[in-house]
A and B are shown apart, each in its own frame.
Chain A
Amino acid sequence: MRITSYGFLFGLLPLFYLVYWYVVKSARARTIVLLFLSFSFYLLAGGGWLLLLVLVSFLTFYASRTRWLNLGIILNLLPLLLFKFAISLGTGTAAEILGFDLILPLGISYFTFKHIGYLIDVKQKRIAPAESLINFLCFSAFFAQLVAGPISSYAETGPELAQEKTLLTRKALFQAATFIVFGLSKKLLLADVLANTLTADIARIQSASILWSWGMLLAYTFQIYFDFTGYTDLVLGIALLFGIQLPENFNNPLGSSSPREFWARWHISLSFWFRYYVYFPLSRSLFRRWGKENAHWAEYLSLLLTMFLIGVWHDFTAGFVIWGLYNGLLLSIQSWGSRYRIGIEPPLLKQTFFLVSILFGFSFLVYPDLHSILAFQSGLVGFQGWGEFSVDPVTLASFLISGALILVGSTEAANFDWPKSRLSGLLLAILAVLCVLHLGNDVFVFAYARF
């Protein structure tokens, strides 16, 4: 079961919504309902590793109440690393060793990051250990953010899960609906249309002209972005239905004008996690070792290592590793430029230059093998001529809409206030129905669900 399936949207979700708000009344009972929903969703979504999720959640909960916090962190990291490593060997090899097909447990990265963040916060006394096991389990397994985040901290989500809630106001309900409809629209009307084009055309790498390559790269970037921001809006809206506010994950990153700004707006919860739990401790440690006069080198190295880890977390493939290092390099260059007050003027040129460099970074991810990546990049720099890039009108429309939304800065549902006119209420209703019509088509799996 997927979050975009009829079974979830029109079966499980309304059922649990009714039970959550109208059948049970106490905060504790509601948390139990939410936990039950989360476990049911995990199992139905193909989460055969529910036991693993429960086990590491138990371990984390009890580790946080003892002095074995570091052990808790290691025990959390271990399954993630093992699975990622085994899968990087190739499913065939892993299956040969283990005797069965290995797939990454659903949401393993996201609950692992939440647990590690929680343990570090407890260790550094930023928060007190969780008091209720049920509450902690619910935080770990909360279905809305289980598949692909956003990664929230216990300090943010824990209290929300535990507190007494009053029935949703009409405004809150409407906001939730707005988030869900926008999320579905971005996924079904933009990301999936572009994914269709990519699926059909991506194999034409041998004739990668400059226009075709940049067209494909733009399609890939828009597709990944609108797929993930669509997913985020959808889960934010679903969480709102249960009176829980999850953190934002995007803020129009492709409208940024510097690498640092981009990473403050792209996959915000992951960037925050790595900044807070990897980059800061790493740079502090290097700074202490190397001294003030080498502080800038400590910063560059920390940036490179952090971005390398982000790349490796996505996948152990050459493309992702180089993409991570490339972004680390961009961030280091920006830092170096700030140090010597070197910048690009005017702002439009700076923005264009940055956009091209960030798009070029994505070119490392379009193909799984290095040979194709290099062929694609040779197309990008024009080694294979100008060529042509033609798309059908629906794809062209999705390109135009994506571009317009980025330029206007209307890419996230959180950018909007709730509808206040009859017309916008009506338009939202029509949009919702048209999205449901598109649910019947083959909906692509959310791109970030595989990490």
Chain B
Amino acid sequence: MKRRIILIPCAYIAWELIRRFPQVWHPDRVDLITPAISSASAIQSNRNFFTLVAMLILLLTLYFLPRDDEVGSRSPTKKTETPLTYFGVGLLFFALVIAATNVYINPWHLYPTNWAPSRIENSRSDKIQLFQELNHAPEILVLGTSRSYAISASQIQDLTGMDAFNAAVLNGRLIDYLLFAQYVYRANPESPPKLILAEVNGLSGLDEENTLLNTPYPWISFLPLDQRFEWWTFRVKHLFSASQLADAIYSIRYFDLYSGLDKFWEEWTLDSSGSGTRETTPYFNEILENVISRDPDVSCHFSELSPYYSDLIRLASSHGTRILFFTVPYHPQYYSEVLALDPDYQTCKKLIEDFMAKQIESGAPVTYVNFDQLASIHGVDTNLGFYDHQHITPLNSSLLIDALAPTIQEQLMP
């Protein structure tokens, strides 16, 4: 009789699961699958669904397990083999189903499979694919983050007469620069790039989690041994990740909708030379005001990044490539109201300048141009020039290349 108390939470959880099911599986809930903003809550909602299922199973297991003091009164003892076999086979079966789903649907692009359209895209894999499709080895390579995404490789090509490729990646970190550069050198050992245009950003740290999550398979041989091991264990661990499974379920359920979605994060569209564009937002002023009103503190990570910059310079110079480091401009309002007042940013700027000066002094094939203030490229401060406070549109990117043009040409002179 007392045991039946367990049925009370059982009933509540069952009711809650029934109530939630349409939220997880309803075709009209398109808002749940649109990228970025609403997805986090949707995935959390799915994870909670798994937690409730697990709680229900826990209760049922407890309900059906004989208690020590009841053993004598229950059904005669059966052989241990049968329930043990069910446990072992069940464990293997369910574990395999989950792992197979995560690998086959591959919603986070962690595995080499590519069966279903994914909500989360990996711009590194996309850029590698575009790079592999190039007819010529690029002579100029752009390395950077999403802030350099809109830089037009065609414009650089027109300016210099050399093939260029924009290898900037979303949420890019310095380790991505190094990995992409190594990948390019290995892919074209006979014709390495003559010039690398590398965006300098002292405000984004190393972010190992990001590296583990986003580094695509073709790059892992360039990772240090310990990170390579972590890269593999990360993928093994995520065979059984509830969040990835939640994403996989969305991918299966909304297959058609996913296929129809624009392929790139925040609706970026890439051309064949790797340059990305996205639609300008009509809410530009609100976005800008919102960012500034939060008065975000920035942190300088340049000290931890400088060894990687040195590695990149060494790598380039060993292949006879020159590097032109540049800074992408911020929106002037954001710059004057946040960055100009932030001592960390000013320190960072000084650290970068000192580092670059030291490199140039030591004879490294390096040049540095700082364009963090929009005025230095005569840029446009409306939504025609910016997507938000720090991402420039093709228009400002084009003005940035114009401003860089003399230095680029100078670097390419024999």
Contact = CB atoms under 8 A, between A and B. Distances in A.
Interface string A116-135: 00000000000000000000
A423 B82 CA distance: 10
Interface stretch (A19-27, A137-145, A211-219, A411-419): A411-419
Contacts of B242: 437-438, 440-441
A271 interface: no
Given A170-B80, A419-B87, A397 B64 contact: no
A435 B54 contact: yes
A167 interface: no
Q: Which 3 A-B pairs have the closest CB atoms?
A: A429-B90, A425-B83, A425-B86
B135 interface: no
Contacts of A440: 237-238, 240-243
Nearest to A178: B65
Contacts of A7: 233
A185 B57 CA distance: 10
B228 interface: no
Contact of A410 (B6, B54, B74, B95): B6
A189 interface: yes
Nearest to B86: A425
A170 B84 contact: yes
Interface of A: 6-7, 169-171, 173-174, 177-178, 185, 188-189, 193, 392-394, 396-398, 400-401, 403-405, 407-410, 414-441
Contact of B90 (A178, A193, A430): A430
Contact of A429 (B65, B75, B94): B94
Which of B47, B58, B68, B237 is the most central at the interface, judged by chain A CB atoms within 10 Å of its CB?
A: B58
B22 to A, nearest CB: 15
Interface string B90-109: 11011100100000000000
A409 B240 CA distance: 32
A169 B81 CA distance: 11
Interface in B21-78: 47-48, 50-55, 57-62, 64-68, 71, 74-75, 77-78
B413 interface: no
Given A418-B80, A430-B90, A433-B91, A397 B50 contact: no
A171 B6 CA distance: 26
B52 A437 contact: no
A223 to B, nearest CB: 15
A433 B95 contact: yes
A392 B16 CA distance: 11
Contact of A393 (B52, B83, B240): B52
Nearest to A192: B51
B225 interface: no
Contact of B5 (A185, A408, A414): A408
Given A424-B83, A425-B86, A429-B94, A416 B233 contact: no
B67 A417 contact: yes
Contacts of B54: 185, 188-189, 431, 434-435, 437-438
Nearest to A170: B80
Contacts of B93: 429
Contacts of A392: 48
B8 interface: yes
Contact of A419 (B59, B60, B65): B65
A425 B8 contact: no
B92 to A, nearest CB: 8
Contact of B86 (A189, A193, A414, A426): A426
A440 B245 CA distance: 11
A245 B5 CA distance: 31
Contacts of A177: 87
Contacts of B90: 425-426, 428-430
Nearest to B240: A436
Contacts of A396: 12
Interface string B1-23: 01101101100110010001000
Nearest to B9: A400
A439 B240 contact: yes
Contact of B68 (A169, A416, A436): A416
A173 to B, nearest CB: 8
B318 interface: no
A396 B51 CA distance: 12
Nearest to A431: B57
A123 B133 CA distance: 80
A401 B55 CA distance: 8
Nearest to B242: A437
Which of A169, A177, A421 is the most central at the interface, judged by chain B CB atoms within 10 Å of its CB?
A: A421
A428 B6 contact: no
B409 interface: no
A177 B83 CA distance: 12
A430 B243 contact: no
Given A185-B54, A394-B52, A397-B12, A174 B80 contact: yes
Contacts of A426: 86-87, 90
Given A415-B67, A434-B50, A429 B86 contact: yes
Contact of A416 (B9, B55, B67, B75): B67
15 contacts: A188-B54, A189-B54, A397-B13, A397-B16, A401-B55, A401-B58, A405-B6, A410-B6, A410-B62, A425-B84, A427-B64, A434-B54, A437-B245, A440-B240, A440-B241
Interface string B153-164: 000000000000
B85 interface: yes
Contacts of A436: 95, 240
A429 B87 contact: yes
A64 to B, nearest CB: 37
Which of B16, B57, B64 is the most central at the interface, judged by chain A CB atoms within 10 Å of its CB?
A: B57
A408 B9 contact: no
A431 B91 CA distance: 9
Contact of A421 (B83, B240, B243, B245): B83
Contacts of B237: 6, 440
B209 to A, nearest CB: 12
A420 B77 contact: yes
